[in-house]
Amino acid sequence: MRTIAILNLKGGVGKTLTAATMARCLTDDHHKHVLLIDDDPQGNLSDCFGVTDRSNSTWELLTGGGDYWPDFVTDLSPLLSIIPADMSLAYADIRREVVDLRAIDDLRQTLDEDEAYDFCIIDLPPSLGLATQAALFAADEVIIPIRLDTFSTSGMAQLAWQVNEMRKLNPRIRVAGILGTQFLGTDEEKDIHRWLHINAGMPVFRQTIRMSKPVLGSVNRHVSLLAHSPRCGAAIDYRRFVKEYLRGVKKRG
Ligand SMILES: Nc1ncnc2c1ncn2[C@@H]1O[C@H](COP(=O)(O)OP(=O)(O)OP(=O)(O)O)[C@@H](O)[C@H]1O
Ligand SMILES: [Mg+2]
């Protein structure tokens, strides 16, 4: 199983949409078995899938609330499952003494042994709190969504800082790539994308994700973007991005 964390401490860059849509591309187009972990107290990933029962959530996982992993997992389809989150996860940084920072990594090992999933995708909050730290201990790699239109030199410094902090927590994590999201197609964004390829010092996905109106409707209706608007720019781009990502996985081994 490959464990991917979707990281960026900047809010609203498309982390949750990337986690949700990447998971759908992997299940629908590539027949992979995927576990999503909602690691954000905002619970946006769980909202995307309309999960209402959040009694066995990431908070319970982090605080050792159960020892049999299927208890935590909500099946969304035969190939897709989720561990949901709600506001209780915000306690992680208040009640630090009850949080087991190794809980997600322990789960990863058990899932590996049971050969339960091909991919585990963790949607991180825009903070470096304990929930994020627990996820980074478990992750093999990170994908970093960024908005190219608001990216700047200080943005690059922030990214480098985040990757450095991440490596302090877990030196074996790789950056799978930076992913340009909410792409408007301006020359400035294209220039920034080219600049990143040369200067970022980490991989950058060639594929970018277009800003697309149907995204909002799909999120509000709890319907996969691929089913809601398969021909919109973002759906097409996410499908291409996942193909590019899987080619990278093959290369990296
Ligand atoms: N390609 C896109 N086209 C249109 N809207 C988008 C696109 N990507 C993201 N959005 C919208 O932008 C907003 C922020 O996206 P999202 O919630 O995925 O970001 P995030 O990085 O997870 O935010 P947070 O840091 O708060 O968790 C959401 O309303 C989402 O629906
Ligand atoms: Mg989010």
Instruction: Name residue 37's beta-bridge partners.
Output: 83, 122
The answer on pLDDT for 153 being more than 80 is no
* Count of positions (residues) in the chain: 253
Closest-lying ligand 1 atom to the alpha carbon of residue 124: 27
Count of other CB atoms within 10 angstroms of residue 92 = 25
Contact 198 CB / ligand 1 (< 6 Å): no
Cα 197 to middle of ligand 2, angstroms = 25
Contact 39 CB / ligand 1 (< 6 Å): no
Q: Indicate the pTM of the whole model.
A: 0.97
pLDDT digits (tens, 9 = 90+) for 192-228: 999 999 999 999 999 999 999 999 999 999 999 999 9
Domains assigned to the chain: 2-247 (3.40.50.300)
The answer on pLDDT for 66 being more than 70 is no
Closest-lying ligand 1 atom to the alpha carbon of residue 125: 27
Reported confidence tier of residue 45, pLDDT bands at 50, 70, 90:
very high
The answer on pLDDT for 49 being more than 90 is yes
How would you label 234-249 residue by residue, b for 16+ Cβ within 10 Å and e otherwise? bbbbbbbbbeebbeee
Contact 189 CB / ligand 1 (< 6 Å): no
Among residues 204, 194, 182, 153, the alpha carbon closest in space to that of 13 is found at 182
Contact 219 CB / ligand 1 (< 6 Å): yes
Instruction: Name residue 82's beta-bridge partners.
Output: 36, 74
Contact 16 CB / ligand 1 (< 6 Å): yes
The answer on pLDDT for 152 being more than 80 is no
* DSSP summary character for residue 93: G
Residue from 215, 223, 229 whose mutation best tests the ligand 1 pocket (most atoms within 8 A of CB): 215
Instruction: Write down the pLDDT at residue 252.
Output: 80
Q: Is 195 exposed, middle or buried (CB count within 10 Å of its CB: 0-12, 13-18, 19+)?
A: middle
Mean pLDDT across 38-67: 92
Distance CA 224, CA 240 (A): 16
Reported confidence tier of residue 2, pLDDT bands at 50, 70, 90:
very high
The answer on pLDDT for 151 being more than 70 is yes
Contact 249 CB / ligand 1 (< 6 Å): no
pLDDT digits (tens, 9 = 90+) for 166-188: 999 999 999 999 999 999 999 99
Distance CA 208, CA 185 (A): 10
| Single-letter amino acid, residue 130 | L
Work out the percent of the chain whose per-residue pLDDT is above 90.
89
* Cβ proximity of 20 and 28 under 8 Å: no
Contact 124 CB / ligand 1 (< 6 Å): no
Mean pLDDT across 27-48: 97
Mean pLDDT across 112-119: 95
Mean pLDDT over each residue of the chain, to the nearest integer: 94
